[in-house]
Amino acid sequence: MRIALVGAGNLATNLGDALVAANHEVLQVYSRTWESAETLASRLHCMAVTSVEELVLDADLYIVALKDSVLEEILPRLVQGREQALWVHTAGSVSMSIWENRGVKHYGVFYPLQTFSKSRNVDFSKIPIFLEANLPSDLYRLKGLAASITDKICEADSKQRASLHLAAVFACNFTNAMYVISEQLLKEQGLSFDALLPLVNETAAKVHALSPLEAQTGPAVRYDLGVINKHLAMLESHALYRDVYEQLSRCIHYEQTNIKKDDKL
Amino acid sequence: MRIALVGAGNLATNLGDALVAANHEVLQVYSRTWESAETLASRLHCMAVTSVEELVLDADLYIVALKDSVLEEILPRLVQGREQALWVHTAGSVSMSIWENRGVKHYGVFYPLQTFSKSRNVDFSKIPIFLEANLPSDLYRLKGLAASITDKICEADSKQRASLHLAAVFACNFTNAMYVISEQLLKEQGLSFDALLPLVNETAAKVHALSPLEAQTGPAVRYDLGVINKHLAMLESHALYRDVYEQLSRCIHYEQTNIKKDDKL
């Protein structure tokens, strides 16, 4: 398949690498800014374009990996004159219905569930890709494409994908926010975040064997007010972190007392 | 060293296993409840005791791994008649000064920085153990003990250890709370938490190579209000999770705009 990549962000960069490694023909990279387009295009040995008009008309597949707000705005101009191709977007939170009434017949979603940074290459073969398509024949084509870069091909409708994306924000983005807070707190005592890496590893490894609910430890689950109050006092000069600590301790306490009870009903 | 283990919780269980595996002589396990004491004692092939009076008088080392609130209360009776031994506690949040004015001369702290559950055995050799002692000779003895079960021996004073423990609550306990929320949200859509495991792994692996601040991704760091508002709408029936989402998005936005700025000064 001859592919045009619309977007040059974290996801487009990692996906582009995986597609080229799997010997797909990536024709062009589009980005509004020349620097982003050029950086990724030269990495993939293809052409950089910064206006929709320069985008090839005869690609087989257009992969649109743009910020949700930009996607909505640019879509009409993107598909114009390219209605015969297969169009997919890569956003967890955008419904497949965004392609409806655009004059396009072949469309779907190609959602790799992972956290991507330009500065870090990930092993795509372990990333689940959630697919959705308007036509069974297009789902089949997308499965073929996905199979060339990963072993984990899944189907999800738009509602399920939205839930996956929301859950991923908690499991990844908010988890990383916890790491940032840890790092800041340690920095103040002249300690390195590295001291926590074995703990970070085990916390992630643990939920492969135990359910997250069973894996929970710490002062909040024991409702150890002595420790909780000591910690809140230590956070006195960090109003934001103090609020996070209080709220998440409440959340853990709620989960441990309520979810388990419900599950046993 | 002839060791008495005071406590039979998650940490005592994993530490007891490691000590026995390293051929230390664990004489007794104390717990207030017979079931806990007996479960761990039989696992370690030693004696279970449920009253302080039954605790041996002539151990070389007493390792006290009790809930902070219980520790404070039971300490005077524990040390009585056993003042010549070396005493350590394992709590991150308890100062070494808790041993002062107890008639005890040899004391310190033996703090393995990890999350422990009884149902999961961890590889102790990768766990950093933070040590503190009143006397240099006792620090030396504790280092010897620690070296028999881990490669990662560190020193930390009580203030640093309190920070490590607080940071660990964020990096581990609150991270796991995020996993629990993810699991609950997916369950409602008939999806399994397993779909997120590659993401959980990569989120943890990423901060070995990038700083947490650099590793941050997601709608909050892009300040993508379209996605954020969609997610908040999806959480309408989960007031608690909605509040967590809002607060952590604010937190991420704050960190990305302020910490980076400060660091560049």
Q: What is the pLDDT of residues A224-247, one digit of tens each?
A: 898 999 999 999 999 999 999 999
- The pair of three-digit structure tokens given for residue A51, joined into one six-digit string: 């206006």
- The region of weakest confidence among A139-148, B126-135, B216-225, B255-264 is B255-264
Report whether pLDDT(B133) > 50.
yes
Q: How far is B169 from chain A (nearest CA, A)?
A: 7
Spatial contact of B144 and B150, defined as CB atoms under 8 Å apart: no
Indicate yes or no: CB of A176 within 8 angstroms of CB of B226: no
Among A224, A219, A18, A237, CA closest to A116: A18
Calculate the average pLDDT of chain A. Answer: 94
Q: What is the predicted pLDDT for the residue at B142?
A: 98
Calculate the average pLDDT of chain B. Answer: 94
Instruction: Specify burial of residue A239 (Cβ count, 10 A radius: 0-12, 13-18, 19+).
Output: exposed
Residue holding tokens 């409840």?
B33
Confidence grade of residue B119 (pLDDT, cut at 50, 70, 90): confident
Spatial contact of A65 and A90, defined as CB atoms under 8 Å apart: yes
* Selected residue with higher pLDDT from B262 and A17: A17
Q: Once rounded to an integer, what is the mean pLDDT over residues B66-88?
A: 94
Q: How far is B140 from chain A (nearest CA, A)?
A: 21
Indicate yes or no: CB of B196 within 8 angstroms of CB of A119: no
Instruction: Specify burial of residue A61 (Cβ count, 10 A radius: 0-12, 13-18, 19+).
Output: buried
Report whether pLDDT(A146) > 50.
yes
Q: What is the predicted pLDDT for the residue at A264?
A: 39
Indicate yes or no: CB of B177 within 8 angstroms of CB of A128: no
Segment B3-50, tens digit of pLDDT = 999 999 999 999 999 999 999 999 999 999 999 999 999 999 999 999
Among A163, A127, A162, A169, CA closest to A148: A127
Q: Give the residue from chain B lying closest to A251, CA to CA.
A: B240
The minimal CB distance from B185 to the residues A68, A156, A167 is found for A167
B contact test, residue of A169, A211, A231, A245 with most B CBs within 10 A: A169
Confidence grade of residue B261 (pLDDT, cut at 50, 70, 90): low
- What's the angle, vertex CA A207, arms to CA B181 and CA A255, rounded to 5? 30
Q: Once rounded to an integer, what is the mean pLDDT over residues A64-84?
A: 93
Report whether pLDDT(A262) > 80.
no
Between CA A252 and CA B1 the distance in angstroms is 39
Between CA B212 and CA B220 the distance in angstroms is 15
Among B102, B35, B93, CA closest to B62: B102
Q: What is the predicted pLDDT for the residue at B265?
A: 34
Spatial contact of B116 and B11, defined as CB atoms under 8 Å apart: yes
SS3 assignment, position A27: strand
Q: What pTM was estimated for this model as a whole?
A: 0.92
Indicate yes or no: CB of A216 within 8 angstroms of CB of B173: yes
Report whether pLDDT(A263) > 80.
no
Q: How far is A207 from chain B (nearest CA, A)?
A: 8
Between CA A96 and CA A158 the distance in angstroms is 6
CB hemisphere CA count around B195 (13 angstroms) = 27
Confidence grade of residue B262 (pLDDT, cut at 50, 70, 90): low
Spatial contact of A92 and A164, defined as CB atoms under 8 Å apart: yes
Q: What is the predicted pLDDT for the residue at A2?
A: 95
Instruction: Specify burial of residue A240 (Cβ count, 10 A radius: 0-12, 13-18, 19+).
Output: middle
Segment A175-210, tens digit of pLDDT = 999 999 999 999 999 999 999 999 999 999 999 999
Spatial contact of A94 and A123, defined as CB atoms under 8 Å apart: no
Between CA B79 and CA B195 the distance in angstroms is 51
Provide, as residue numbers in chain A, all residues whose Cβ is less than 8 Å from the Cβ of B154.
Answer: 195
Cβ neighbours around B19 below 10 Å, total: 22
- The pair of three-digit structure tokens given for residue B92, joined into one six-digit string: 């991150």
Between CA A18 and CA A22 the distance in angstroms is 6
Q: Give the residue from chain B lying closest to A177, CA to CA.
A: B252
Q: How far is A118 from chain B (nearest CA, A)?
A: 10
Q: What is the predicted pLDDT for the residue at B263?
A: 54
Q: Which amino acid is at A133?
A: A
Report whether pLDDT(A39) > 90.
yes
- The region of weakest confidence among A214-223, B30-39, B42-51, B93-102 is A214-223
Q: What is the percent of chain B with per-residue pLDDT over 90, rounded to a whole number?
A: 88
Q: What is the predicted pLDDT for the residue at A222?
A: 82
CA dihedral sign of residues B168, B170, B176, B179: negative
Spatial contact of A226 and A232, defined as CB atoms under 8 Å apart: no
Q: How far is B231 from chain A (nearest CA, A)?
A: 6
Provide, as residue numbers in chain B, all residues whose Cβ is less than 8 Å from the Cβ of A185.
Answer: 163, 166-167, 170
The minimal CB distance from A204 to the residues B201, B215, B241 is found for B201
Report whether pLDDT(B264) > 80.
no
Bridge pairing between strands B129-133 and B106-112? antiparallel
Confidence grade of residue B223 (pLDDT, cut at 50, 70, 90): confident
Q: Once rounded to an integer, what is the mean pLDDT over residues B58-77?
A: 93
Residue holding tokens 């135990």?
A210
Indicate yes or no: CB of B176 within 8 angstroms of CB of A113: no
Given 3-state DSSP classes, what are the helix, strand and coil percentages for chain A, each rounded to the nearest 5?
Answer: 55, 15, 30
